[in-house]
Structure 1
């Protein structure tokens, strides 16, 4: 593998220098791999992770359509229709009705609001893998990964994810949020460990450059890193490579990191991966990509945006999630072996969290295999994108489309019409998006049909006019605005 054979980066050398300091202080946190006993299995037998045993299919199947359907309790549906979505009193009363099993009526809708992009949530192969693991292994994780929870199932999942991302190693988490928090904290701890001081000089600090619209988990992780005293934070304009280049050029810090989402979840636009790779060559920064919405959806094998734009070996660390296109739950960090050791020792959200249960990990492993082999699902997403563009004229850059409305109450009114037409969408407002940019966020999936797209395109075309929000560079992004 190319990334494994290349010379060590300066960042690997920093970590190599810092790890012995953890060992000398007895603060290195080793993983404790173990196999768990399987019901009915002979002593000494190994769990089989043969990918050929995972059944896959070509083309949409009857169960796939179930992944695009949703049922709303009639009381909640009525609350949406009455414009009472943001009221807590009605929510309490509604929950009381549902929890007491008094709710008898449901409204069937087609789902356009989820992140099950490939439609794997009803796939029988994944369900069988989860059920088999539960029957054989129980429900446990039994502990944290540093105590007794790190099993051969977790190691197998890490291995298949590392291969997908073309990296040496991988570390799995209970969520993508936890993965970003751990990584930012781990980066922020390098200088204090190397210098032995929580107050290093400005020049000694790690300069981290973050896209203005990065996910909240990155933002919160960076706040934690700043609190540790070893980081100086710089925010660059959204996807603006000229601004990033200027900030990198002006910065005198030796250690530089650039962190960005690959596909931005509320706007659907992509980071300029090729230009970022070029800037990395120019400035020599450490490149971190959060590929939560790109993994399994983009790239020939589902390797994400880095694979799509042929810059997998330029990305130093890739963060991903298993709770979106993989239709499971959890997060991961794909990186070098030495970085894995550093993160597991300094990432607080990893150290102090119980690891994912074995059945869930088994389902995630099956999802990775199925997602890679059933490449037709990625093609179907592209087909839905083309159809949506043809019917609305909206330039569709990814599987996420934002119809910008502006005022949150106005967005709720527009969303009522979508829901009333049998299309489940959600009006999104602050703090998830900036003030006065409330929107209807639509997701296009592999298990929606051409007829589904026609129905939603008719409504979108009724409202959409082209205008670019002021915080978006018009040369890179166009949103539909009411």
Structure 2
């Protein structure tokens, strides 16, 4: 049903087959020594570059006279530490020297080069999809997809206002990311879809809402019983999970059950951008109606070359994924917290309590900031820490000891470390 709707929508916006003439910008050929992706070197284990951006210096804006203080970062999203990898540095630097920032325009004009196409091809293959479309940010990826999705009802209603049952019903988790929320607000404001929010991770509530929905076209983030379009935001598991870095869908072997996978290039990839892995028809619809994609300048060429290199390195250096999950298991063993992700939220309550805990961690030499409103509810402020491949067991021990001093309910049980740990299947 969905592919038919997309084809009908494309026919409305592309009567003259404009998308057939999507510009295939080809950059001047360079020699092997100048080629950004030639001779990328990978390694069997960590190098000194891996901790380059984990060990930083920070100034206290309230006490500049105190000077800079060394900090160990536990607050970034560079899970595989690829942002400082020699191959990523080399690719971005060579691209900048050979092409500058690349052709500067939107993707539909001249911004979409052969390097952009190579990155899209690699990401589509990784997620086992026909096609992929990259955006300047992960935020833009979600809003571009939702913008295109919302247009389907008006495009297929023969020039009249869509009837209630013709609108798309979008079911969204109550704690979805701001990029999804803003995209939903956009389609809701234009009366192109009905947005229904279900309680966080409450499948019973979702089932009830789905069963009572009169809409024929339903979009949600889970599907077994109802057979609707299945879209996931895979921002934090791309490259981190799965034998080949294909994310959470590879872990569970459900790539064929996911219609569209939205992800980020700003986290484990260590670069910047977003992507939408989908069918060829969905890609055409997003190119034709995804406003944040259409009206944004394409990502600069050095960034795209760096992304290409990072994806290639992550596939070969699988030990990085193993190291991340080893840190997760060590944290779990030391604290008794049964964490299952490199992202760990420690809810402390009020904003004041979170700021006090964050200050304590900064004083102890850990860059671990408080997460406060509007990101979270006023009574659910927290410390949000992230574990990376280049953190060590000793880093985790020191972190846990410091946390136990500022979070009184925080348990510490280090006995399990010596006994050896069983690590989860990637």
Task: Pick one of 67, 92, 95 that aligns with 2:53.
Answer: 67
Task: Pick one of 241, 258, 270 that aligns with 1:327.
Answer: 270
Show the counterpart of 2:420. Answer: none
Show the counterpart of 1:17. Answer: 8
* Structure 1: distance between partners of 2:118 and 2:49: 27
Task: Pick one of 21, 44, 47 that aligns with 1:58.
Answer: 44
1:331-480 maps to which residues of 2 (within 5 A)?
A: 331-462=274-405, 463=407, 465=409
Shift of residue 33 of structure 1? 1.1
Task: Pick one of 284, 287, 312 that aligns with 2:255.
Answer: 312
| SS in structure 1 at match of 2:322 | helix
Cα offsets for 1:148-187 (capped at 9, x unmatched): 1111010000000101111000001000000101001110
Cα offsets for 1:259-297 (capped at 9, x unmatched): 4xxxxxxxxxxxxxxxx3xxx232111011011111111
- 8 Å CA contact 1:57–1:374 kept in 2: the answer is yes
Show the counterpart of 1:31. Answer: 22
Shift of residue 29 of structure 1? 8.5
Shift of residue 30 of structure 1? 5.1
Shift of residue 386 of structure 1? 1.1
Shift of residue 398 of structure 1? 0.1
* Structure 1: distance between partners of 2:83 and 2:49: 9
| SS in structure 2 at match of 1:283 | coil
Task: Name structure 2 gaps, 5 residues minimum.
Answer: 412-426
| SS in structure 1 at match of 2:166 | coil
1:39-118 maps to which residues of 2 (within 5 A)?
A: 53-73=39-59, 75-76=60-61, 78=62, 105-118=67-80
Check if 1:177 corresponds to 2:168: no
| SS in structure 2 at match of 1:439 | strand
* Structure 2: distance between partners of 1:39 and 1:257: 45
| SS in structure 1 at match of 2:341 | coil
Shift of residue 221 of structure 1? 0.3
Task: Name structure 1 gaps, 5 residues minimum.
Answer: 1-9, 80-93, 95-102, 260-275, 468-482
* Structure 2: distance between partners of 1:198 and 1:239: 37
| SS in structure 1 at match of 2:44 | coil
Check if 1:226 corresponds to 2:188: yes
CA separation of 1:48/1:61 partners in 2, compared to 1, >3 Å: closer, same or farther?
closer
Show the counterpart of 2:98. Answer: 136
- 8 Å CA contact 2:71–2:366 kept in 1: the answer is yes
Cα offsets for 1:178-197 (capped at 9, x unmatched): 01010011100001011144
* Structure 2: distance between partners of 1:157 and 1:338: 19
Shift of residue 67 of structure 1? 2.8
TM-score by length of 1: 0.81
- 8 Å CA contact 1:408–1:438 kept in 2: the answer is yes
Shift of residue 28 of structure 1? 5.4
* Structure 2: distance between partners of 1:466 and 1:287: 38
Shift of residue 239 of structure 1? 1.0
TM-score by length of 2: 0.92
- 8 Å CA contact 1:156–1:365 kept in 2: the answer is yes
CA separation of 1:47/1:108 partners in 2, compared to 1, >3 Å: closer, same or farther?
closer
| SS in structure 2 at match of 1:328 | coil
How many residues in Structure 1 have an aligned counterpart in Structure 2?
410
Shift of residue 58 of structure 1? 1.2
Cα offsets for 1:15-52 (capped at 9, x unmatched): 111211112278758531111224669xxxx96856xx
- 8 Å CA contact 2:335–2:410 kept in 1: the answer is no
More displaced, 15-24 or 396-405?
15-24
More displaced, 280-289 or 28-37?
28-37
More displaced, 284-293 or 246-255?
246-255
Give the alignment's Cα RMSD to 1 decimal.
Answer: 2.2
